[in-house]
Every structure is written in structure tokens, then in C-alpha cells.
Amino acid sequence: MGKYATHYTDEELQALKEQWFKDRRRISEKLAGMEPHDIDTACLPYLNNKTLQRLFRHTIYLYHFGVKTGDLDLHKREEALIPEVYEEIKKNGYFSSSKITEKKIANWFGKAVSRQTRHKSFKKY
């Protein structure tokens, strides 16, 4: 994997998946009985790179507090995409073989999180 590579190779994807299974299993056993949100948050440092960590952190927040509970105002496209991204990262340890796609979705979800947490009474002039 080069520093500026736009896609993961098949060998890298396989290595990511194997390492993710080991880390995920160990964390799930260690934190058995805790809330799913807490278990997912504990898995963040074990993802391969900062972009994946950021994507999963935003996805965890939007999934557990937006999709499952309905407490957040999400766009229809976001409501459909968030569970897909969440399940894919939980299953494989990565979302897409394209690093560019992961970065775009991480930015999109970051904006969705900031849209939920900004001060509502602030007026733009």
C-alpha cells in the first residue's frame, strides 16, 4: 500500500479483515454485557487508519442515536446509508476498497454529526 494509493489491494483487504476479526472478538469478550455503543467505541483504535476511525466514529453516533432511536434529524439518503456502512465496517473492518469513497463518506457523516450538534438558536446573517 503506497502512501497515496487510492484503493486497497486484495492482500491488504484480507489482512485487514483477519486482524479485525481477532481484535473484534477479543474486545467483545472483554466487554461482554456492555452497551453496543460502548463496545463499538472501544473498537475504534483497532481500525487500520485515521480515516476509517473517523468514519466509524461518526457512523456509530449516527446509527445508535439517529437510526435506532430516531432522536436525530437525518436525510433520507443518510438513513439508508448509515446502517449499510455500520454493518460493513463491523463485518469486515473496512467499508470500501476505495480509500476515496471512505474519505467522502467520512466527510459527509461528519457534516451530518455537526448538523445535529450545532446550536439551534444561532441565526446566520
CA-CA distance, 110 to 94, in Å (whole number)? Answer: 17
Backbone angles phi, psi at 98, to 5 degrees: -95, 120
Q: What is the pTM of this model?
A: 0.85
Give the start-to-end residue ranges of the domains of the chain: 10-115
Mean pLDDT of the chain: 89
CA-CA distance, 51 to 56, in Å (whole number)? Answer: 9
pLDDT for res 71? 86
pLDDT for res 3? 66
Weakly modelled stretches of the chain, pLDDT under 70: 1-3, 118-125
